Structure 1
Amino acid sequence: MADRPEITLYRLQACPYCERVVRRLDELGLEYHSRFIEPLHSERNAVKRESGVRTVPVIVDERTGVRMAESANVVEYLDRTYGDGNGGEA
């Protein structure tokens, strides 16, 4: 397939919500590309173009066409799409 993983995670350094998504991606053994964005909210144009919001984390899954924000929603999506579907927390 492509050199780059099909999942891109827009995130901030040391963001606990972003780390929650990273943990789930790692637990599920999914390859992903981390794209670290500007800490200043008003400068987050790249993530705004992808998702329509400037909040993080945002996941873009090219395989399914999903673009999604909010860590709880992203974790649920990952579990439902790539996990056992029971939504269990680690």
Structure 2
Amino acid sequence: MSVRLYQLDGCPYCEKVADRLDELGVEYESEWVEALHSRRNEVKRVSGQRGVPVLVDEEYGITMPESERILEFVDRTYA
């Protein structure tokens, strides 16, 4: 799958991004991460930081943290 969303269960910022992707019919794979920042090695590897959400869109060559930036990209690209 070309779109992956790294997210944490119960994270309102992650849910906001996931809801928007669902609204737009964007197919994506959820990568659920650990609650402890120190255990988010996969997120750090792909994005350089441990915060979530992080969107990876291989088709557009984008790896992007921060929900507001992700929502802007998603709306600009998929809406």
TM-score (norm 1): 0.86
Separation in 2 of the partners of 1:45 and 1:60? 15
Aligned residues: 79
TM-score (norm 2): 0.97
Matching of residue 67 in structure 1 with residue 63 in structure 2: yes
1:7 corresponds, among 3, 6, 11, to: 3
Matching of residue 43 in structure 1 with residue 18 in structure 2: no
- SS of corresponding position for 1:23: helix
RMSD: 0.5
Instruction: State the identity as a percent.
Output: 57
Matching of residue 56 in structure 1 with residue 52 in structure 2: yes
- SS of corresponding position for 2:35: coil
The structure where helix makes up a greater share of residues is 2
- SS of corresponding position for 2:5: strand
Larger Rg: 1
Separation in 1 of the partners of 2:39 and 2:18? 23
